[in-house]
Structure formats: structure tokens, C-alpha cells
Chain A
Amino acid sequence: MGYSRREALTLAAGILAGGSLAACGGGGGDAGGDISKEAVKLRFTWWGSDARHKRTQQAIDLFTKKYPNITVSGEFKEWNGYWDSLATTVAANDAPDIIQMDELYLASYAERGALLDLGAATKHLKTDGIDPAALDTGKVDGKQYAIPTGVAAYAIVANTTILDQYKIPLPDDATWTWDDLKRIGADVSKASGGKVTGVQSWGFDTGGLNIWARQAGATLYDAAGKVAIPPAVLAGFWQYLLDLAKQGIAPAPSVTVERAGAPLDQSGTATNTSAFGAWWTNQLPSLSTASGQSLKLLRLPGNGQPAAAQSPYYKPSMFWSVSSRSRQPAEAALFVDFLLNTTEAGDVLQTDRGVPSNSTVRAAVVPKLAANDKAAADYVSALKVGAAPRVTPNGASSVEAILKRHSEEVLFERQTPQKAAESFIAELQKEIDAA
């Protein structure tokens, strides 16, 4: 009978038991201690695609060959289930030792004491090969709770096969504006007779929103972690998406919503049904594999304002962190060091978790990359970026769910962009205040 009351309560029992354990259990081992000579078992969890699971398992095998007394068991999931299961395992005092962390959740876990301060683990985990600005993105309240695996940037992925087919020239991404994207997108929709839409709608992740805000000289959050985006700027963001849908430049809202909830390989870009789409650079290889056509990364259109020049930023694609209750923090730190700082691991992992943040690894890996990985790496290194946005505040980890719902309200015209903007800001602020 589905999710019965009993199952729900079983879960609750586990959580409660775990909660009280967590309350009195305290920390695990000593992160600065020596590496054990005895047999050690580590648990390591991450989310991702099949390609990532294979690469990661290869890296694990290399590590355990080097340190035969340490076994690492991988627990991998897809994005949505990952966070539910991480919350419950941490609550039940059963967290994996090494945790792949995202910017959205970093503060929520760190401020609640679930992550180890890696500053205490420098004996085994070196960070001197990593750019200080990138390292800072893993700090919460001045402590290094997480280390970025690599960086990615937001980009427009253009399908040049489609553009060639309809004899539409590739826009110059140094000068183009949002209006250009609209115009060219409309050309594609018209030329294909609706089979291909010019643009795949976005508005379901914070990357697009952040850049829109930064182009207007604003930010999503201020330094203190309050929601700071002006309602008019946010309304403009939604008005643009609504225009795309209403003018047939982007697919009908129900198609957009369906794709937004589907895996990457069912997106408009991956199925060659949209000529332009907004993505993170590290998604290019997976998109290319799925699409089979020629995809090119373009810089985002501008709005003609001076702030736009500084609007791109490096997003730490994801982080490594260690559970604060790990019984083997020293060995866990050693493992993270291996993933982060060795070219052996870098050769296997390549740019799947972003362009490697360690400069030595990056220099060794990039020349060997396949064409699409290399295109992503080149795009990232050529990009002129401003300072990264503030880490998502504690309590705002559900920002993308709130964003998605409001985008849907706008696309289905249940709320005006202006009303949606006010409602989004109020709701997000309430979540932050409650945490």
C-alpha cells in the first residue's frame, strides 16, 4: 500500500534514535593522526551519471592498489535521491566518511556540525595546489569544510548542426545580447516549422538566475546571506522566459516542465530539438554523447550594461567533504588528497567534476582530454570572471525547488512575473530566517 504509515514511522524511529546518538556521540577519530596500518574501511558517496560512476570506481581501484589496507566502498545515487538519503544517514549517525557536497547544501550541513573542518586534516590533505579564490568557496564561517573538485561556468550550448541546416549564422558571443538570442531563436523555430525550437527554456537552476542578477549589478544574496535580488530584476528574468514561450521560441510550458524534470539526455539540447540551451560547462561531454551532433559553447548574451562584463563566475562544480563523525578521518583525508592532488586520479576523473581545481593536475590532464572535455576546459580558462557569489545560506538549500515552482507559475501564467518575484523573495527569505 505504498508509503504506509508504518514505513514512515520506521523511518522516524531511525531518525530519532540517530538524533539522540548524534547528540551524545560527538566526534570520531583524529584527523591529524597517523595513517593506520590495520585494515580500514571507508565509505564514499556521490551522485552522478553512469559515466561518472565508472570513472570514480576506477579512481577508487587505483587508490586501494596504492594503500592495500584501506578499502573504499562507493555508494552512488542520482541527484534527487542523494540528498534525501544523505539527510537520513547523517541523522542516523551513519554518514559515509567521504561525501560529495554541493554548494546549495554546504552551509546547511556545515553550520549544523555534520562536516569535518578539513583545516584539521592538513597533515594528509594538502591544499596548496589549489587557487585560494577557489578554496574560499568551500569555507563557511572561515572554516574549510569542503574543497572544490573543480570549476565550471555557465554557458549557452549551441547546436551548430541545426544552425547550419537552416543556414543561420552562429552569433558572435562577444557582442550578442538577449534580444539577439530571441531573434535568432525565432529564426530557428520559423525555419524548422516548429520541429526544432530556437531556445530551450531555463529558469530551473540558480546559474541562470545568478548571472541575470549579476548582469544587472545585483546578487541573489548579499554578504550577510539575505535575499538581495531586486524584484524588478527577477521579474525581468521571468518576463524574458515567458516571452520565449509565448512567441514560440521556446517549447510550450508543459513540454518545458516535463523536460526540466527529466534526465539530461531527454533535454532539448540532448535530443537535438532546441538549438540553444543554457548549461554548466561540465555537462558538455554528456550532452554531446547524447546529441551526436556538433555542439559549441557560447558565452551568455549580455544586456548592454557595464556590470555584464563581470557577471560570469566560476562555480565550484562540487566539493569533497568528510563527515565530522567519521571514525577514520585521517584515512578519509588521505583519500580526498588522492582524488584532488594526484595526476593518476586526475587522468581517470578528467573534467567530469569540473576542470580540476589543482593546477598541477589541470596542467597534466587538459592536454590529454577528448575534444568535448577540452572545449569545456578551454571555455572555462578563457572566460573573464568576477568574484563567485556567496555560498547558498543555511536554510536556502531548497532554493531551486522554490525557483522551479515560481517559473512554472509564470510559464503557465498563473502569476505575473512581478507577483512571482515578490513571492519568491519572501518565501526564500522565510526559509533562511527559519534555519
Chain B
Amino acid sequence: MSALGELRRLGASRAGQAHQRDNKAAFLFLLPWFAGLLLITAGPVAASFVLGFTDYNLLQPPEFNGLENIQRMLTDERLHHSLAVTFTYVLISVPLQLAAALGLAMLLDRGLRGLAFYRSAFYLPSLLGSSVAIAVLWRQIFGAEGLFNQLLGLFGVSARGWISDPDTALSTLIVLNVWTFGAPMVIFLAGLRQIPVMYYEAASVDGAGRWTQFRKITLPLLSPIIFFNLVLQIIHAFQSFTQAFVVSGGTGGPSDSTMFYTLYLYQRGFHNFDMGYASALAWLLLIIIAAFTAVNFWAAKRWVFYDD
């Protein structure tokens, strides 16, 4: 007994030593990331907080101006407009995108032949969706002489510039975002795989139809995944920048119809030499996103079902 106990203790202490060595190695490997976090993320975040209370104009040293930037936000009509545009974009495109992602994930989950191919094919737009190349392509497709109009022409619908018309420009960006459903789709697919088949078998024995099975089994068991995707995509959508920047040529036009919050912030900072105000705007965005996420977590208690 004692010999065995001795042996165990020895093993444990060896494991402990190995553990410590591993920790050191891990820390060493993480060091570049920590350095990056401090220098490239944390430092500038703190700096932008300070700059938010200054009149920094990029070319001259900043001077504190108290709460002036915050007062400006209250009366800045273009800011309010950009918030309206951004909220519209987030509140329409995210649910549509998640619905598309879930729908396709369920289709793919039914054991299609060549699943790997389809999964990759549908995932591809997510990799490309916020890239400059796709935004340029979008501009071509929805331009006055673009592919979309040629397609409509076949059905006798008259041509218009979808991107250059303030009534439709934002819709094209929403479609672009919905099209990048691949990332949430892959996560949904993994989630669907976790749901034991026996639940469905039992349900169908009891006479439950497809819709009932979806509502009573799939949705509740998938709710943590839906929640995860929802939080992630909302944050992502609030930060959208590239699409609007490229599609509108950096203007947020026509007549401010695609003026996303981030684009407005960028314009204030880099076009109007208004970096102090832009820094304050960046913090407002952080607060808005945090608030949305907090509400999400609060509401999650009512609808997210954790199995374990």
C-alpha cells in the first residue's frame, strides 16, 4: 500500500512539474499575443478614450475640451441619421442571415451526397463577403448596367441603378450581408449534429410532424447555438465598414443612405480632421454594442435552453 501511495505521489509531483513546464512554455508562446494585445489593442483603446475628450485634429497636438464632443453628439443630425441606417441594417440583415444559415444547415444536415463540397461552397461567401473584391463585384452587379439589371431585363423590368439610388442602396448591402451566411451555417451544422437522432425517432413514433419536430426539438436544443450566432453576428454587423465604404466609394451616399456608423466615424476622423470627435464616436459604438450584447444575454434567460 505504502509503496503504491509513494508511487502515486511521485507520479503526481512529476506530473506537477511537467505541468509547470507546460505553463511556462504556453506563456512563452502566448507572449507575442500578449504584447500585441497590450501595444496594439489595449494601448490605443485607452488612448482613444483620452482623445475622445480632446479636439485632436491629426496635425496639431490635442487639447482637452471637456464634454464638448458628447454635447456635439446630441445635436449632430448626421450622426443620428447614421445610427438609424446602422440599426436598420443590423435589425434586418442579421435575422435574415441567421434564418438563411439555419435553413441551409438543415438541408445539408439531411445527409446530402457531396456534403463537403456544398458546405465549402456555401461557406465561401463568408470568407469573401467583407472583402474589398466582393464589394467591388457587388458594385458591378447592382450598377445601372450591371448583371442584376440584365437579368431583370429578361423579364421586362426596366433598369435602374440599385446602388446609386438612395431608395435601394441600403437593401443591396443587406443582401450582401445575408449572402455571407456561411459562417453561422457551419456552426449551426455542427450544432444540429449534436442533437441525438433518437429524439426525432421518438417524436415521429408519437406522431409529431416535421414542423412540430422543428419547433419542439430542433429549436430548443439548438437555442444555445442560435444565441451564440446572434450575439456574434450582431456585433459583426454593427462594425460593418468595408462593404459600405467600397460600394459607395467612401461617401456613404447616395444622399447618406449607406452612411454606416463606422463610415461616419471614419469620415469625421480622416476627411474632416476631426479625430477627437471620431474617438468619442468609437467609444459610443463600443457602448452601443455592449448594451445590445447585455440585452441579448438578459433575454437569453427566457429562451435559451441548456441541456445539461
Interface residues of A, Cβ cutoff 8 Å to B: 1-6, 8-10, 12-13, 15-16, 19-20, 22-23, 80, 83-84, 87-88, 90-91, 108-109, 112-114, 252-258, 261, 395, 397-398, 401, 404-405, 408-409, 412, 414, 431, 434-435
Q: Which residues of B contact A412 (CB under 8 A)?
A: 165-167, 254-255
Interface residues of B, Cβ cutoff 8 Å to A: 39-41, 43-45, 47-48, 51, 56-62, 130-131, 143-144, 160-161, 163-167, 236, 239-243, 245, 248-251, 253-256, 262, 267, 270-275, 279, 282
Q: Which residues of A contact B163 (CB under 8 A)?
A: 258
Residue contact B130 to A8, C-beta cutoff 8 Å: no
Residue contact A258 to B251, C-beta cutoff 8 Å: no
Which 8 A-B pairs rank lowest in CB-CB distance, beginning with the nearest? A2-B130, A254-B161, A23-B61, A112-B59, A3-B241, A13-B44, A258-B164, A2-B242
20 new A-B contacts, CB < 8 A, other than A87-B270, A112-B273, are A2-B130, A2-B243, A8-B282, A12-B51, A12-B279, A12-B282, A13-B44, A19-B58, A19-B62, A80-B249, A91-B275, A254-B144, A254-B161, A257-B253, A401-B271, A405-B251, A408-B255, A409-B255, A412-B255, A431-B272
Name the contact of B239 in the complex, choosing from A5, A12, A91 (C-beta under 8 A): A5
Q: Which residues of A contact B61 (CB under 8 A)?
A: 19-20, 22-23
Q: Which residue of B has the minimal Cβ distance to A6?
A: B41
Q: Which residues of B contact A4 (CB under 8 A)?
A: 239
Residue contact B255 to A414, C-beta cutoff 8 Å: yes
Residue contact A398 to B271, C-beta cutoff 8 Å: yes
Q: Which residues of B contact A254 (CB under 8 A)?
A: 144, 160-161, 164-165, 254
Residue contact B59 to A255, C-beta cutoff 8 Å: no
Q: How far is the CA of A256 from the CA of B243 in the complex (A)?
A: 21
Residue contact B166 to A414, C-beta cutoff 8 Å: yes
Q: How far is the CA of A20 from the CA of B40 in the complex (A)?
A: 17
30 A-B pairs, CB-CB below 8 angstroms? A2-B239, A2-B241, A3-B130, A3-B241, A6-B41, A8-B282, A9-B45, A13-B40, A13-B44, A19-B58, A83-B270, A87-B59, A90-B59, A109-B59, A112-B57, A113-B60, A252-B161, A253-B164, A255-B161, A257-B161, A261-B253, A395-B272, A398-B272, A405-B251, A405-B255, A408-B166, A408-B255, A409-B255, A412-B167, A435-B273
Interface of B is mostly: loop
Q: What's the least CB distance linking B182 to chain A, in Å?
A: 13
Q: Which residues of B contact A109 (CB under 8 A)?
A: 59
Q: Which residue of B has the minimal Cβ distance to A11?
A: B44
Task: Using A2-B130, A2-B131, A114-B59 as known contacts, say yes or no to A108 and B161 having CB atoms under 8 A apart.
Answer: no
Residue contact A405 to B51, C-beta cutoff 8 Å: no
Residue contact B262 to A3, C-beta cutoff 8 Å: yes
Q: Which residue of B has the minimal Cβ distance to A3?
A: B241
Q: What's the least CB distance linking B54 to chain A, in Å?
A: 10
Q: How far is the CA of A2 from the CA of B166 in the complex (A)?
A: 24
Q: How far is the CA of A395 from the CA of B58 in the complex (A)?
A: 13
Q: How far is the CA of A395 from the CA of B273 in the complex (A)?
A: 8
Residue contact A3 to B44, C-beta cutoff 8 Å: no
Residue contact A258 to B59, C-beta cutoff 8 Å: no
Q: How far is the CA of A268 from the CA of B245 in the complex (A)?
A: 24
Residue contact A12 to B166, C-beta cutoff 8 Å: no
Q: Which residues of A contact B167 (CB under 8 A)?
A: 412
Q: Which residues of B contact A256 (CB under 8 A)?
A: 164
Residue contact A108 to B273, C-beta cutoff 8 Å: yes
Residue contact A16 to B161, C-beta cutoff 8 Å: no
Q: What's the least CB distance linking B111 to chain A, in Å?
A: 31
Q: Which residue of B has the minimal Cβ distance to A115?
A: B59
Name the contact of B40 in the complex, choosing from A9, A83, A87 (C-beta under 8 A): A9
Q: Which residues of A contact B250 (CB under 8 A)?
A: 80
Residue contact B270 to A88, C-beta cutoff 8 Å: yes
Q: How far is the CA of A337 from the CA of B48 in the complex (A)?
A: 41
Residue contact B161 to A84, C-beta cutoff 8 Å: no
Q: Which residues of B contact A22 (CB under 8 A)?
A: 59-61
Q: What's the least CB distance linking A254 to chain B, in Å?
A: 3
Q: How far is the CA of A91 from the CA of B275 in the complex (A)?
A: 11
Residue contact B144 to A258, C-beta cutoff 8 Å: yes
Q: How far is the CA of A4 from the CA of B271 in the complex (A)?
A: 20
Q: What's the least CB distance linking A324 to chain B, in Å?
A: 10
Q: Which residue of B has the minimal Cβ distance to A414?
A: B255
